[in-house]
Structure 1
């Protein structure tokens, strides 16, 4: 029986499914693997079900010329934490779970839009601190979401799902910036430049995949085009946004607010960002529902099973 390694604890239903196919070892810690642990995993197991934060870099693969591991089954969509070229050179397949996370992540995107617009984080902190004096007509005045303009940066599965919710749920005008024209069942305008989207959007939503090209895509220049009443939302990857530039924009009130589910150096969040009332901060919980985590696990296990059975896994990335 093939040996597989789960780098973090997963729902028991996923582990039970995997045990029908493999000899499963599931790590008990919820922290990213260290470089020595990743090297060991490549040499000790036939497959590894890995997570965001397990950075399988070229340095990890350098010590594994002919690894026992034949597949890294990533438990998520983004694979920017894996050096794909190094994996390919080592003969290791890489898979992901592209469809399972779409709706849950889009829902978190809408949560951040609503919380940032309506200053919900500030309100909850006020109540919990015992500082709420009671209702008054000028308390925590936010901005309306219904009828506003959303700009989607990266119109893939998740971006499209957010746009759909914005249009049908909140009657919002949809702008998007992407490499190609898309065809939707609702009005959506493709803009030519990121700068145009940032200038026109009341809510700019980052939903583009992380890559060398998108690193710090949202920087001082991009933020300078936003209106002082606009909000930045990030449900993609933390390093797409230059965190220092965002802190400056929030501190100087050059934008109204930000809603973040991801950070540039997770799990570290700058103290300056944590101190800002005009920032909504969530702990990378875009896919945090039991149903989604179980579905992600089933897809990842299926990828492992197919790959280790000599078949092409359904979600082969590399």
Structure 2
């Protein structure tokens, strides 16, 4: 008898067909945004849940889940939307989908750096108005070549960003919970504290996981550690940046430009950002390639399949 699985959002056709073959599935055919309460209610007769990073499953929700639910497979590299400690206490395994979105997210990080530093948003607006005229000081931006790039979080994605940035001749600096082995650093310079990293970041790429320790890590104090006119980008999680402090820094020129693929309150954003021309904004496109989204779906399904076959899922995080 097939195990029953709740899938909280739509999957691409290729992975939807696979999950339907393997399990008795409840699909979100209307693509209705499920609330936490919806997930609790709809999973009552399910053995597992395949959810997404936008689905918040906190300790209260986990406490209300049916005792039948034994695994939550998260379709995301992160798992901050799930209280993994509460899940472990209830005997629920939690998995994620690492590795498969590294390259796509690193590409977006570079796009953010280029788009913000070269004033792409302003350029698009001028082009649409069709009334601009070329002159020597028109939309002057920051050039990445041979500058210092600070990477906050030197995991798989951070290292992939560094690899791409070396093509611009950038000097790579990074801060991580631990110093990397030399073969992983590839010449990158380690900083054991935020102040030292930010002091050396003419460009800053945020690629660290969202944790209690990283919430509002980029705040008024730490922003002041940056060189004047720094370019900051975030392809990790929105809550790493204190929006009020960042908006103030963008207005003052302390931060030359900001590139965001993620932000607090998605899909809503602090309206003060939208008044600024030095913001290059994307709607959470980090993993948005066909190949990556198929791979993410298959990875989540692999974790479910292994668990129900009595094996430890490859990507178990609790």
Report the 3-state secondary structure (helix = DSSP H, G, I; strand = E; otherwise coil) of the residue aligned with 1:59.
helix
* Cα displacement (A) at 1:204: 0.9
> Which residue of the partner structure matches residue 24 of structure 1?
25
* Cα displacement (A) at 1:207: 0.9
CA distance in 1, matches of 2:108, 2:67: 38
CA distance in 2, matches of 1:77, 1:5: 19
What are the ranges of 5 or more consecutive residues in structure 1 without an aligned counterpart? none
> Which residue of the partner structure matches residue 133 of structure 1?
132
Q: How does 1:180-195 map to 2 (within 5 A)?
A: 180-182=178-180, 183=182, 184=184, 186-195=186-195
> Which residue of the partner structure matches residue 314 of structure 2?
314
Report the 3-state secondary structure (helix = DSSP H, G, I; strand = E; otherwise coil) of the residue aligned with 1:40.
helix
Q: How does 1:143-292 map to 2 (within 5 A)?
A: 143-167=142-166, 169-182=167-180, 183=182, 184=184, 186-292=186-292
CA contact (8 A) 2:210 2:236 kept: yes
* Root-mean-square deviation over aligned CA pairs: 1.4
> Which residue of the partner structure matches residue 81 of structure 2?
81
CA contact (8 A) 1:107 1:162 kept: yes
CA contact (8 A) 2:232 2:259 kept: yes
* Cα displacement (A) at 1:153: 0.6
Q: TM-score, normalised by structure 2?
A: 0.95
> Which residue of the partner structure matches residue 94 of structure 1?
94
* Cα displacement (A) at 1:35: 2.2
* Cα displacement (A) at 1:30: 4.3
CA distance in 2, matches of 1:114, 1:31: 35
Deviations 1:78-103 (A, max 9, x none): 11110111111222110011111100
* Cα displacement (A) at 1:292: 0.3
CA distance in 1, matches of 2:142, 2:32: 38
CA contact (8 A) 1:42 1:67 kept: no
* Regions of 4+ moved over 6 Å: none
* Cα displacement (A) at 1:228: 2.2
* Cα displacement (A) at 1:191: 1.4
CA distance in 1, matches of 2:178, 2:276: 36
Report the count of equivalent residues: 315
* Cα displacement (A) at 1:134: 2.9
CA contact (8 A) 1:210 1:239 kept: yes
Deviations 1:103-157 (A, max 9, x none): 00000000000011111111012212x1442322211000111111100011101
> Which residue of the partner structure matches residue 63 of structure 1?
64
Deviations 1:291-315 (A, max 9, x none): 1000000111010111122211111
> Which residue of the partner structure matches residue 142 of structure 1?
141
- Is 1:14 matched with 2:12? no
Report the 3-state secondary structure (helix = DSSP H, G, I; strand = E; otherwise coil) of the residue aligned with 2:44.
helix
What are the ranges of 5 or more consecutive residues in structure 2 without an aligned counterpart? none
> Which residue of the partner structure matches residue 40 of structure 1?
41
CA distance in 1, matches of 2:110, 2:57: 32
CA distance in 1, matches of 2:16, 2:204: 38
* Cα displacement (A) at 1:159: 0.6
CA contact (8 A) 2:40 2:64 kept: yes
* Cα displacement (A) at 1:32: 4.1
Cα pair distance change 1:28/1:245, threshold 3 Å = farther
Moved more, 212-221 or 37-46: 37-46
